[in-house]
Amino acid sequence: MSVIQTALKIRSPSAFDVERIRADFPILKLTVNDKPLVYLDNAASSQMPQQVIDRLVRYQTTQHANINRAVHHLSEVATSEFEEARRKLQRFINANEEREVIFTSGTTDAINLVMHGYGRKFIGAGDEIILTTLEHHSNIVPWQMLAEEKGAKIRVVPINDAGELLIDEYEKLFNERTKFVGVMHVSNALGTINPVKEMIAFAHARGVPVLVDGAQAAPHMKVDVQDLDCDFYAFSGHKLCGPTGIGILYGRAALLENMQPFKGGGDMILSVAFEKTIYNTIPHKFEAGTPPIAAAIGLGAAVDYLSEIGMDAIAAHELALLEYATEQINSMPGVRIIGTAEHKAAVLSFAVDGVHPHDIGTLLNQEGIAVRTGHHCAQPVMQRLHVPATSRASFAFYNSMDEVDALIAGIHTVQKIFT
């Protein structure tokens, strides 16, 4: 163990036993190209512990039925477990009420729900929507679609060369036409942690609601929607050690009650006649059709697992990984970190002189190392920083310092091949 690695390990929580945690993840035992798998693509999707896998199997083998539709035993059990998962998510983000937690198919679906349900009802011609340069495409395109439909205008908060929002410029964008703010909590491309609590307070002082894209924050830090005072908060299950096809939209109850449904169908209604349909109460008004029952219950198990470890302990371990990796890469000639914000989550985008990011990803894969290469669905960020793409290592709480060393060794190998 290096001197730096030792120093950072000392700063990590003493009770955080990464090897014990890694034993919970069967996939981490895999080899790729005859090398131990080093999975550093957690910003795209995280891995699933055995506890969540077991919960999914138990549901499918002993509890599965459709929910809210029958009086038989299995339907009642499935309904109860589905709603218990909602309450687990409520506690995980400290929502005031369980009816403020809506199951969606993911973050993108959640943002689209807000665009259709809130935006199409309350944003009109000449109104302005504030977004930021850092946004993922999923928090840009829906609002562009709305602006085109309604004749609204999108205004964009710029960033500096480190990848930090220019808050003074954010505040200057507000005027009497500002009707909505959409901002990501943590940048998926750079790792920047945005000051969303302060941004929300500024918007609220002007009567403007705020949606926070929490896809990259919820898996890595404690999220308290009441403390943030956000109006909407969206995140995905598969980045949180849960299944794919499930996500959460938190919405303030008063806002949700006044929104129109995004999708129509079964279960989102109280009564249907050809003359008139009466919609169900929240959250069911926004959950048309058979929901992803197993995925929701699996996500409930995932937040149980994360909560047992502790989100503060997870954040501390990931920060230690980030600091160690940053220090190592900064010492490598010809390697440059893209995104050097003062406050970052465990995302490390980088470029190697003379090597295309896709070649870096391919060569690292030969060493068993999984990173993401490309624009990371954040093309405005790439354009602003004048890079076509980056290589991105994104860490999770089950990654180790030794895996950071493997990444550094892999980058050295890439450099040798291209010199």
User: Residue 230 in contact with residue 201, Cβ under 8 Å?
Assistant: no
Q: How far apart are CA 339 and CA 164, in angstroms?
A: 8
Written as six digits, the tokens of 229 are 């005072």
User: Residue 178: CB partners within 8 Å, gap ≥ 6?
Assistant: 127, 128, 129, 130, 155, 203, 206, 208
241 noted as active-site residue: no
User: Residue 40 in contact with residue 407, Cβ under 8 Å?
Assistant: yes
User: Residue 402 in contact with residue 6, Cβ under 8 Å?
Assistant: no
Residue among 377, 379, 384, 413 flagged as catalytic: 377
Q: How far apart are CA 50 and CA 31, in angstroms?
A: 18
Q: How far apart are CA 237 and CA 110, in angstroms?
A: 12
71 CB burial (10 A radius; 0-12, 13-18, 19+) = exposed
How would you classify residue 267: left for phi > 0, otherwise alpha for psi between -120 and 50, otherwise beta?
A: left
Please state, as a whole number, how many other Cβ atoms lie within 10 Å of the Cβ of residue 144. Answer: 15
Question: What letter represents residue 223's amino acid?
Answer: V
User: Residue 249 in contact with residue 225, Cβ under 8 Å?
Assistant: no
User: Residue 260 in contact with residue 116, Cβ under 8 Å?
Assistant: yes
Taking CA atoms, 306 is separated from 241, 242, 347, 403, in Å, by 8, 10, 19, 21
- Report which DSSP code applies to 280: P
DSSP secondary structure letters along 182-223 = EEESB-TTT-BBP-HHHHHHHHHTTT--EEEE-TTTTTTS--
- Report which DSSP code applies to 54: H
Q: How far apart are CA 252 and CA 225, in angstroms?
A: 9
Q: Which residues are catalytic?
A: 377
